[in-house]
Amino acid sequence: MISREEALRRITAAAWHLPTTPTPLEQANGRILAEDVMSDIDIPPFDKSSMDGYACRAADASDPLRVLEHIPAGRVPTKTITPGTCSKIMTGAPVPDGADCILIVEQVESIDDNTVRFTGTTTKSNICLKAEDVRIGDRVLRAGTRLGPQHVPVLASVGYAHPLLASQPRVAVMATGDELVPASEPPAPGKIRNSNSVQLAALAVGAGGIATDLGIVPDEMDAMAKAWEDALTNHDVVLSTGGVSMGDYDLVPDILKHLGFDIHFDRVAVQPGKPVLFGTRGQQACFGLSGNPASSFLQFNLFVAPFLWHLQGGKPQTRIVPLPLGHTFTRRNGAREGWVPVQIDDNHQVVPVDFHGSAHIHSFTAADGLIAFPAGETTLETGRTAMVHFFSR
């Protein structure tokens, strides 16, 4: 067995970067940016009004003001503000020359058709100055950023209609085991429904991938070997569950060696989830994960997700926050690093959820994230700070 840290080091060392491609902006959300984004303009590109109102000189605000023109957004002013004058202006419109403040419309009353008066006592400038947000040539986004809804309008504002993005890893997922039946079928005696492949497909999409769920593969050498060969024809990464431990039907390691994969590790000192295999063949990778759904969920988050983000040139997206334990946590065996699901209570403290071990996938529905027992420790006392690895939402 190797440590989790050593497993991650080997994963990172074996990874490569997928090709990049200019991509329409409407398809950018959730993708990894492959270039620094520089602004081609000042933002705002001109002094603009931040309010509906009247542009004037602040020194004249206490006097009646003659209205020179109306300036809607998108129109360039044609008049210069001089003493005793103003122009009616809409939010976002360019501020006319000579003006240094905007009197908001709620504090202005009409004297006649062409004259207004300020009814307030003081006023802010209510002007957004040219380039106060961004200057031409400024970097507004860094390569490696996972784009969200907050980033897409920034790209649009600086003219990146087709930003350069990393390709999404194509991920094939399959579950092995004669005991499995599809989710749509009632399980016969000795059978269980397949939850692993749908779980891993959803996790792969959450990590930026394009997932193909290949369903269930029986515990039979020829069928399993063909499934792997088919999956590798058009995918960058293949994930399988089951078949990687020490049982009579754990066939995956032999199949992968036959297919020419270099196996970088097949045991990691974590609990649950010790049997986890990682291999590469050129620019293709495989992970053999546990058949227990809680274990495979943990293995994906610890090992597969960082690998998928690395392929895209991004960083792992897990949010890790130090928080105090609101309860004492215990376990029976401290030989390996131990991971357990937790909730965060209303006092921002870490509390346990009911967790029965590597098959108890239902426990994660009540959890906010995971914490780890360091190897060698069986008790984490109330008040101790734990690093909470939050689930993506």
Those residues whose C-beta lies under 8 Å from the C-beta of residue 76, and which sit 6 or more positions away, are 94
**Are the C-beta atoms of 33 and 142 separated by less than 8 Å?**
yes
* pLDDT score at 279: 97
Q: Tell me phi and psi for residue 255, to 5 degrees.
A: -60, -45
Closest CA to 311 of 166, 145, 163, 210: 166
Q: Is the pLDDT of residue 281 over 80?
A: yes
How do residues 217-238 score in pLDDT, each as one tens digit? 988 889 889 999 999 999 999 9
**What is the C-alpha separation between 289 and 117, in angstroms, rounded?**
74
How do residues 12-67 score in pLDDT, each as one tens digit? 999 999 999 999 999 999 999 999 999 999 999 999 999 999 999 999 999 999 99
| pTM as predicted | 0.89
**Cβ atoms within 10 Å, residue 39:** 21
**What is the C-alpha separation between 310 and 173, in angstroms, rounded?**
19
Whole-number mean pLDDT of the chain?
Answer: 94
How do residues 182-219 score in pLDDT, each as one tens digit? 989 999 999 999 999 999 999 999 999 999 999 999 88
Which residue segments constitute the domains of the chain, with CATH numbers given? 4-17+167-311 (3.40.980.10), 22-41+140-166 (3.90.105.10), 48-128 (2.170.190.11), 320-390 (2.40.340.10)
How do residues 78-101 score in pLDDT, each as one tens digit? 999 999 999 999 999 999 999 999
pLDDT (mean) for 136-160: 97
Q: Is the pLDDT of residue 393 over 80?
A: no
How do residues 355-378 score in pLDDT, each as one tens digit? 987 888 888 899 999 999 999 999
Distances (CA, A) of 80 to 51, 54, 55: 19, 13, 10
**What is the C-alpha separation between 56 and 101, in angstroms, rounded?**
6
**What is the C-alpha separation between 241 and 225, in angstroms, rounded?**
14
